[in-house]
């Protein structure tokens, strides 16, 4: 497969790894962007955006990025904290009083960003129309009891992460997280990254496809599956389902934990802006803010009994850890279902994003190859 784009001479091995994913890894369509010290050094794309029609992947092809979406909410929250408008360690109820009931009085925004708040899913059985209307989700979260004493156990807060922090953002600013992100970050940087994709962009998106091998999903009644699917309303991955991850009903709404749409270039630019600034601009997040964000907060076996899979979380981000080797202790990342990943690192000046529309299964090495190549190029 002939890919398009370019890589600086010092990153030719990264381009080779990208090509190898198509030759050996069964890649369908993908893109990769890398910045170093605010300058783009890799911008690659290729393959097929829609397996049904053969439509090719173009330079600005965007696609659903699953939980890579969490960077949008995390950056907005950290910016508010950086500007003194949000205390991450104050109770959520300081900003959202109705949340502070039934044992959630001590839940902080940091606990949510670290997946330790005790509210890993929305317990109420809501319809798709209610899930996309925002307020019904917020009302349901207000009425819930935490499953454990907040701050004392770890469990992935798949969608609750985005809705709880998103409502804190809305209470402080008056804007939904997707709206604030466009106003405060994305429009200025020219990012093709949205929470709630505009209708006119939707027909151009790459279409998510399932690979031949899928990772084994836990039992449908497990806490993780109920969290990821919002109690079965969001079919996962449900590529052809009207509530699935190729559907405008989902992608056009704000699902701030996992519903963003972006190009690889958009995500890489965002992480580069956060870590170093882009093209000579001031960095979005200060060194002090990043130091706070990469301080380990959670990981290990989950509250519901899942074994320690190696993931370690800071505040809003996955850290360099056994399950995801990045560049070092200053790396901060978010990963998407099926193999997508984006991260920043201010020690090495990196903004990185890899997006692909073929969901990976067991032993998927596509992202690892690319990160290994970047690590070699920057001497990490």
Catalytic residues: 67
3 state SS of 193: strand
Q: To 5 degrees, how large is the angle CA 134–CA 149–CA 231?
A: 40
C-beta neighbour count of 370 within 10 angstroms: 26
Tokens of 358: 């073929």
Tokens of 30: 């993908």
176 vs 259: CA distance, rounded Å: 14
Q: How far is CA 172 from CA 113, 167, 168, in A?
A: 17, 9, 6
Residue 362 buriedness (CB in 10 A; 0-12 / 13-18 / 19+): exposed
CB contact set of 118 (below 8 Å; sequence gap of 6+): 103, 104, 107, 111, 146, 147, 148, 149, 150, 151, 152, 153
Residue 17 near residue 23 (C-beta atoms within 8 A): no
Q: How far is CA 353 from CA 30, 342, 375, in A?
A: 11, 4, 14
Residue 368 buriedness (CB in 10 A; 0-12 / 13-18 / 19+): middle
3 state SS of 191: coil
Tokens 């030759």 — which residue?
23
Tokens of 148: 């454990």
The residue among 121, 124, 126, 119 whose CA lies nearest residue 92 is: 119
């Amino acid at each position: 497969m002939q890919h398009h784009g370019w890589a600086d001479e010092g990153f030719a091995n990264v381009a080779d790894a990208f090509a190898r994913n198509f030759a050996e890894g069964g890649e369908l369509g993908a893109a990769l962007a890398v910045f170093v010290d605010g300058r783009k050094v890799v911008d690659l794309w290729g393959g097929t955006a829609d397996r049904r029609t053969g439509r090719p992947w173009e330079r600005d092809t965007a696609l659903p990025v699953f939980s890579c979406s969490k960077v949008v909410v995390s950056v907005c929250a950290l910016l508010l904290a950086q500007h003194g408008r949000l205390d991450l360690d104050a109770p959520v109820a300081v900003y959202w009083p109705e949340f502070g009931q039934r044992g959630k009085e001590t839940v902080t925004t940091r606990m949510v960003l670290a997946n330790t708040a005790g509210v890993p899913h929305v317990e109420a059985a809501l319809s798709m129309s209610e899930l996309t209307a925002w307020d019904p989700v917020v009302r349901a979260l207000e009425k819930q009891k935490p499953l454990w004493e907040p701050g004392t156990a770890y469990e992935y807060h798949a969608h609750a992460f985005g809705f709880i922090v998103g409502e804190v953002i809305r209470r402080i600013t008056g804007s939904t997280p997707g709206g604030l992100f466009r106003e405060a970050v994305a429009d200025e940087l020219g990012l093709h990254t949205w929470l709630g994709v505009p209708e006119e962009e939707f027909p151009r998106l790459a279409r998510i496809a399932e690979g031949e091998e899928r990772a084994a999903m836990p039992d449908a009644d497990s806490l993780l599956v109920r969290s990821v699917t919002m109690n079965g309303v969001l079919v996962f991955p449900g590529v052809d389902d009207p509530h699935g991850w190729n559907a405008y009903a989902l992608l056009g709404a704000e699902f701030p934990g996992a519903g963003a749409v972006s190009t690889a270039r958009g995500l890489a630019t965002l992480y580069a802006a956060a870590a170093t600034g882009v093209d000579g601009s001031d960095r979005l997040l200060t060194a002090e803010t990043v130091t706070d964000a990469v301080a380990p907060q959670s990981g290990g076996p989950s509250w519901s009994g899942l074994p320690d899979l190696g993931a370690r979380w800071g505040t809003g981000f996955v850290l360099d850890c056994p399950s995801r080797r990045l560049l070092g202790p200053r790396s901060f990342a978010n990963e998407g279902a099926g193999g997508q990943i984006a991260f920043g690192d201010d020690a090495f000046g990196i903004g990185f994003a890899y997006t692909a529309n073929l969901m990976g299964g067991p032993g998927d090495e596509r992202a690892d190859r690319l990160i290994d190549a970047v690590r070699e190029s920057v001497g990490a």
